[in-house]
């Protein structure tokens, strides 16, 4: 009998409860853009409006998983902060006084400014983009324009990670590689915040935890991934390299290394010339054909190091026929890391980690690597023709990102971590870290950067951001002065692979190395969180010459939202949202490949814009045609491409190679290389807006030396050659720079930079204190200060999102409870955070899960009053703060010249080197953050600031 006390609808006797109500009338697939994961999504629409966003279960990146940011894309789409129409400045810069103009006027204005620059001095255009995903197009456009001054956000974010990996193992962490989540038994993660690769990492960590694998997190702060770690190591910022080298010391000291892996897959056996003071000192011994040599222990003579049947020496000093002394790389490595300076007891105090704990970590790593090996019954053949019946792996894996990258010693730390992987034999083996296709790449990949010369109306042939092999590839003039406005690829940042966006405005303001005419930016919030010091950047953007003209005459800015940078531009080109446009996650740029095979993706417009806006890629292509850039026009001068979809489909960077690798060829049957396919985009849409090629089992591991993989990678256009990629313990390109500093070669650094180059271009990783900390007295600033990006935000993009704002409407300064108590600071107190560059005020939250000598906060939560169409007294402006206000772009002055506060090898912004003091505010100073710049004025005809934003009506 039914329970008569229950409502009839609960007993099934009355109405039927609908558990699967239709969400909308249409579902379209595309790619998320709420962070950089590039997850596949399904967008549900009703009456042409977005109703619901869910993960695409077929997509290889996220397998249907979607995070809060991805779901909240609805509120990004309907944010009142979206720009409405093109704007021209009609008042002083920074006043916010604009007039709406037509696209015809906007394009005529931009074309006029840019044409003048191109016809007179193309280098006077600085074209810099933020966290966009169309850099293969923007870089190509800049080269066609003829300016060397192009880069994206990488120099501000992670170039140390990329360069450290690409010059060492031919790949890198995060976007270039991933953990073998299914097989790894032990993971050590260094400095990875929640915003990086978050869905794949969350999925992977879930798999590992379910299998009982151990997860160790090395991070000054225990949040996000670190909060679920089995072991949290709260290291002092900037000392990760010391810890890694101490681990190498222990592994070498106790002889727990994979010698077979080192001999077969690294340059451990290559012979290095020892000729102190000579022009060949530290270079590899090579034969007449330029092949590196190893010492054959049987023949007692040097031979081609790639000889399969040879028994090479790994230690010893040998003499060549011409009398030169040579030693194997392994010996040089062992001599360094077995030194007393890298013993656990020697580094413990600086790292803030007990020596016993370092030894225990080394023991655990070695136990997993050498006592718990994994064997897969899968035959394969290596690049030297040797057949292997099985694939044997060390199930120890590592992952790292910005936490070790954003230091001025980060390049060598990243390289050291890769050396640790090599010592363990844990690169692309079962259970270890694995390359994501299209990596690995040759070391270093491709030619050097283009832009050694430029002239009016002349394109630059080659890639503006590429890979120097030595001093001859630098972009400097005959006197050694930089040719780029950001000084990337100069003696000040020789391996500035991603450019140095953080120095552009400051160098331009100083006219160093020359003034610019037009600053053209896309999605780069340089007047706030994309600058190391926002108020100084704003000062330069508004600085005037004696005649009243601006130091930077023209500023063009493209963005979808009313950010803090909008008021400082002269011309605003409003972009669409990611749900309103085509995008290409290109095989030429940052594709969605995985360890299981290469892949790429697109975005398709799922709704039409309701504003007078245009996709930036379309705008750029039209500007290219208007300016007559050779690749953007046909022989008769008409546009080569009508829009971005046309470009994606028909552009060929080289014969058969275009932005997308899937469904190539006229009939769509080719992959990687093939003629343009007019139906290519339709095929992507049919497949959920992505393409993926799955590697056969024999190509799954050892990609750096797997003959079948290397041959297929070349055939698919991912590499120009199929030779084995030999991982580099000793880096000859670095040694070439060091030799130049010692007076060798035709291209040598200026006298003032010789000691810097000789010191920091060491071919073996070493640790040094961060440069900013070397350059001033640290006693007044006893604490390190770092930032993290929260899982619910990405850069500053979530600031105008009503749902995400409710999670992080303001930020606190997080501080060790024990440290705060010693200083008389209590929970919720207001404090001044002071550095050598200035001070900022915020409110404190005390916690246990932070290194006691470190304070931290969420980045990009604090907003300028009035920006992002937030109310002037929003919590983001009143209680949120930006740590950037106490960071500086420059190291303390050195004998009349200034050096960037950056890694001396790559130019990576070193904003994690910050040292501060924290003092309690006086009672009358409580209540709101400082500095607190005046409220910015919204552009005309923006939507009213709503009190409540509601989801589109059902």
155 neighbors 529 (Cβ within 8 angstroms): no
Q: What is the rounded distance in angstroms from the CA atom of residue 785 to the CA atom of residue 782? A: 10
Please state, for a pLDDT cut of 90, what percent of the chain lies above it: 89
C-alpha closest to that of 602 among 62, 38, 130, 55: 38
Q: Is the pLDDT of residue 340 over 70?
A: yes
What per-residue confidence (pLDDT) applies to 1? 45
Rounded CA-CA distance 315/252 in Å is 13
593: left (phi over 0), alpha (psi -120 to 50) or beta: beta
What span, in angstroms and rounded, lies between the C-alpha atoms of 522 and 99?
Answer: 20
How confident is the model at residue 141, as a pLDDT? 98
In order, the DSSP letters of 361-419 are HHHHHHHHHHHS-EEE---EEBTTS-EESSEEE--EEEEE-HHHHSSTTHHHHHHHHHH
pLDDT higher than threshold 70 for residue 895: no
Q: Which two tokens stand for residue 636?
A: 């008769």
Confidence at residue 154, expressed as pLDDT on a 0 to 100 scale? 84
How much is the average pLDDT of 421-448?
Answer: 96
pLDDT in tens, 920-950: 999 999 988 999 999 999 999 999 888 887 7
Out of 133-137, 163-167, 307-311, 456-460, pick the least confident.
133-137
* pLDDT at residue 15 in the model: 58
Spatial contact of 661 and 586, defined as CB atoms under 8 Å apart: no
Dihedral angle sign, alpha carbons of residues 824, 828, 832, 834: positive
Residue 953 pLDDT greater than 60, yes or no? no
pLDDT at 17 over 60: no
Q: What is the pLDDT of residue 893?
A: 76
20 pLDDT band, cuts 50/70/90, is: low
Whose structure tokens read 């696209």? Answer: 103
Q: Residue 310 pLDDT > 50, yes or no?
A: yes
The pLDDT of residue 952 is above 80: no
Q: What is the mean pLDDT of residues 128-132?
A: 83
The rounded distance, in Å, linking the Cα atoms of 233 and 849 is: 10
Q: How far apart are CA 758 and CA 741, in angstroms?
A: 5
Q: What is the pLDDT of residue 12?
A: 56
In this structure, the number of other CB atoms found within 10 A of the CB of residue 448 comes to: 19
Helix spans in 189-342 (H): 198-211, 240-253, 259-265, 329-337
- Please compute the mean of the pLDDT values over residues 407-432 and round it to a whole number: 98
Q: How many helices (H) and strands (E) does the chain have?
A: 27, 34
Q: What is the average pLDDT across 788-810?
A: 86
* pLDDT for the residue numbered 590: 83
Q: What is the pLDDT of residue 860?
A: 87
pLDDT of residue 19: 57
Distance CA 188, CA 218 (A): 7
Q: Are 316 and 331 in contact (CB under 8 A)?
A: yes
For residue 87, the 8-state DSSP code is E
Query: The whole model's pTM is what?
Result: 0.96
Q: Which residue has the tokens 């010692």?
A: 742
- CA-to-CA distance for 59 and 66, rounded, in angstroms? 11
Tell me the C-alpha distance between 557 and 129, whole Å: 10
Pairing of strands 87-89, 571-574: antiparallel
Helix (H, G, I), strand (E, B) or coil at 690: strand
Calculate the average pLDDT of the chain: 94
Residues in CB range of 689: below 8 A, 6 or more apart: 29, 30, 31, 40, 601, 602, 603, 604
Instruction: Over range 667-680, report the average pLDDT.
Output: 97
Q: Residue 295 to residues 301, 319, 328, 905: CA-CA distances in angstroms?
A: 6, 10, 8, 32
> Considering only CA atoms, which of 930, 891, 897, 933 is closest in space to residue 914?
891
Q: Distance between CA 90 and CA 836 in Å, rounded? A: 37
- Given a contact cutoff of 8 angstroms between Cβ atoms, the answer to whether 789 and 357 are in contact is no
What whole-number distance in Å separates Cα of residue 947 and Cα of residue 632?
46
What is residue 55's predicted lDDT score, i.e. its pLDDT? 96
Q: Which of 703, 713, 694 is nearest to 60 (CA)?
A: 694
Contacts of 347 (CB under 8 A, 6+ apart): 239, 242, 243, 245, 246, 341, 355, 358
Sign of CA dihedral 890, 894, 897, 899: negative
Q: What is the DSSP secondary structure assignment for residue 948, as one 8-state letter?
A: -
pLDDT of 22 strictly over 90: no
Residue 177 in this model has a pLDDT that exceeds 60: yes
Contacts of residue 3, Cβ cutoff 8 Å, sequence gap at least 6 = 11
Please tell me the predicted confidence (pLDDT) of residue 2: 47
pLDDT by residue (tens digit) across 364-412? 999 999 999 999 999 999 999 999 999 999 999 999 998 999 999 999 9
Confidence of residue 589 (pLDDT cuts 50, 70, 90): confident
- Among 202, 228, 203, which residue's Cα sits nearest to residue 215? 228
Q: Which residues contact 482 (CB under 8 A, 6 or more apart)?
A: 475, 476, 489, 490, 491, 492, 513
Q: Would the pLDDT of 11 be above 90? A: no
Identify which has the larger pLDDT, 786 or 800.
786
Yes or no: say if 819 and 852 are a contact pair by the CB < 8 Å rule.
Answer: yes
User: CA-based angle 510:516:518, to the nearest 5?
Assistant: 130
Query: What is the rounded CA–CA span in Å between residue 629 and residue 637?
Result: 9
Task: Kindly tell me if the per-residue pLDDT of 752 is higher than 70.
Answer: yes
Q: Which residue has the tokens 């011409």?
A: 322
Report the percentage of the chain scoring pLDDT > 70: 97
Lowest mean per-residue pLDDT among 7-11, 237-241, 894-898, 946-950: 7-11
According to the 3-state scheme, what is the secondary structure of 737-792?
HHHHHCCCCCCCCCHHHHHHHHHHCCCCCCCCCCHHHHHCCCCCCCEEEEEECCCC
């Amino acid at each position: 009998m039914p329970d008569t006390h229950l409502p009839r609808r609960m007993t099934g006797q009355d109405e039927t409860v609908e558990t699967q109500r239709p969400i909308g009338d249409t579902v379209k697939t595309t790619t998320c853009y709420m962070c950089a994961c590039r997850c596949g999504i399904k967008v549900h629409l009703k009456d042409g409006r977005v109703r619901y966003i869910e993960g695409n279960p077929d997509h290889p990146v996220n397998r249907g998983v979607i995070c809060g940011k991805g779901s909240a894309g609805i509120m990004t789409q309907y944010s009142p902060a979206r720009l409405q129409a093109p704007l021209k400045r009609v008042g002083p810069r920074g006043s916010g006084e604009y007039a709406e103009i037509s696209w015809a006027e906007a394009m005529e204005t931009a074309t006029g400014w840019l044409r003048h620059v191109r016809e007179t001095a193309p280098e006077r255009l600085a074209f810099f983009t933020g966290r966009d995903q169309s850099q293969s197009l923007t870089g190509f456009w800049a080269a066609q324009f003829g300016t060397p001054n192009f880069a994206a956000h990488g120099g501000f974010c992670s170039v140390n990670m990329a360069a450290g990996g690409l010059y060492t193992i031919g790949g890198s962490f995060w976007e270039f590689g991933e953990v073998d989540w299914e097989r790894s038994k032990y993971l050590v993660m260094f400095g990875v915040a929640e915003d990086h690769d978050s869905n794949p990492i969350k999925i992977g960590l879930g798999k590992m935890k379910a299998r009982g694998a151990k997860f160790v997190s090395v991070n000054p702060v225990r949040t996000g991934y670190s909060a679920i770690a089995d072991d949290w190591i709260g290291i002092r910022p900037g000392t990760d390299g010391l810890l890694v080298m101490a681990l190498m010391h222990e592994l070498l000291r106790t002889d727990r290394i994979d010698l077979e892996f080192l001999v077969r897959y690294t340059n451990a056996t290559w012979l290095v010339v020892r000729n102190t003071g000579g022009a060949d000192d530290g270079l590899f011994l090579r034969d007449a054909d330029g092949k590196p040599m190893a010492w054959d222990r049987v023949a007692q003579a040097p031979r081609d190091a790639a000889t399969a049947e040879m028994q090479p020496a790994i230690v010893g000093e040998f003499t060549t026929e011409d009398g030169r002394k040579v030693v194997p790389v392994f010996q040089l490595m062992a001599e360094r890391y077995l030194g007393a300076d890298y013993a656990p007891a020697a580094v413990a105090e600086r790292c803030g980690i007990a020596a016993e704990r370092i030894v225990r970590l080394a023991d655990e790593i070695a136990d997993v690597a050498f006592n718990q090996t994994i064997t897969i019954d899968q035959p394969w053949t290596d690049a030297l023709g040797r057949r292997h019946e099985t694939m044997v792996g060390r199930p120890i894996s590592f992952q790292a990102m910005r936490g070790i990258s954003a230091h001025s010693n980060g390049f060598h730390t990243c390289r050291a971590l890769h050396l640790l992987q090599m010592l363990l034999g844990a690169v692309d083996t079962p259970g270890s870290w694995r390359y994501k296709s299209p990596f690995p790449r040759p070391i270093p990949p491709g030619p050097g950067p283009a832009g050694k010369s430029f002239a009016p109306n002349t394109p630059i042939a080659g890639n503006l951001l590429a890979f120097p092999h030595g001093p001859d590839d630098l972009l400097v003039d005959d006197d050694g002065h930089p040719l780029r406005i950001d000084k990337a690829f100069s003696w000040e940042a020789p391996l500035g692979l991603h450019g140095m966006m953080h120095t552009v405005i400051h160098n331009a303001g100083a006219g160093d190395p020359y003034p610019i005419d037009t600053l053209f930016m896309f999605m780069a919030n340089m007047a706030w969180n994309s600058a190391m010091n926002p108020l100084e950047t704003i000062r330069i953007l508004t600085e005037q010459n004696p005649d009243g003209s601006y130091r930077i005459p023209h500023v063009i800015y493209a963005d979808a939202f009313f950010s803090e940078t909008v008021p400082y531009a002269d011309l605003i080109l409003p972009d669409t949202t990611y749900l309103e446009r085509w995008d290409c996650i290109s095989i030429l740029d940052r594709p969605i490949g995985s360890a299981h095979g290469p892949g790429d993706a697109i975005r398709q417009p799922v709704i039409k814009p309701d504003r007078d806006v245009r996709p930036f890629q379309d705008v750029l292509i039209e500007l290219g045609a208007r300016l007559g850039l050779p690749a953007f026009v046909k022989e008769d001068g008409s546009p080569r491409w009508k829009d971005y979809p046309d470009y994606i489909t028909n552009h060929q960077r080289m014969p058969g190679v275009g932005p997308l690798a899937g469904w190539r060829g006229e009939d769509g049957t080719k992959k990687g290389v093939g003629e343009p396919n007019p139906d290519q985009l339709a095929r992507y849409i049919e497949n959920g807006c992505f393409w993926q090629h799955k590697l056969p089992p024999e190509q799954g591991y050892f990609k750096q030396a797997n003959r079948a993989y290397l041959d297929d990678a070349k055939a698919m256009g991912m590499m120009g050659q199929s030779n084995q990629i030999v991982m580099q313990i000793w880096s000859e390109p670095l040694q070439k720079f060091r030799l130049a500093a010692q007076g060798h070669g035709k291209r040598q650094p200026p006298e003032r930079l010789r000691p810097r180059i000789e010191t920091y271009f060491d071919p073996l990783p070493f640790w040094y204190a961060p440069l900013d900390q070397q350059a001033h007295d640290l006693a007044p600033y006893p604490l390190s200060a770092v930032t993290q990006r929260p899982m619910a935000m990405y850069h500053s993009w979530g600031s105008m999102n009503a749902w995400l704002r409710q999670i992080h409407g303001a930020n606190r300064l997080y501080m060790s409870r024990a440290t705060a108590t010693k200083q008389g600071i209590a929970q919720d107190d207001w404090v001044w955070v002071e550095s050598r560059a200035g001070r900022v005020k915020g409110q404190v939250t005390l916690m246990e899960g932070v290194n006691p000598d470190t304070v931290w906060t969420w980045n990009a939560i604090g907003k300028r009053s009035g920006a992002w169409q937030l109310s002037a007294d929003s919590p983001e402006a009143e209680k949120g703060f930006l740590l950037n206000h106490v960071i500086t772009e420059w190291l303390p002055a050195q004998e009349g010249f200034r050096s960037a506060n950056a890694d001396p090898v790559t130019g990576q912004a070193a904003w994690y080197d910050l040292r501060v003091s924290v003092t309690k505010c006086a009672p009358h100073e409580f209540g709101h953050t400082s500095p607190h710049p005046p409220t910015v004025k919204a552009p005309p005809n923006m939507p009213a600031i709503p009190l409540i934003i509601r989801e589109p009506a059902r």
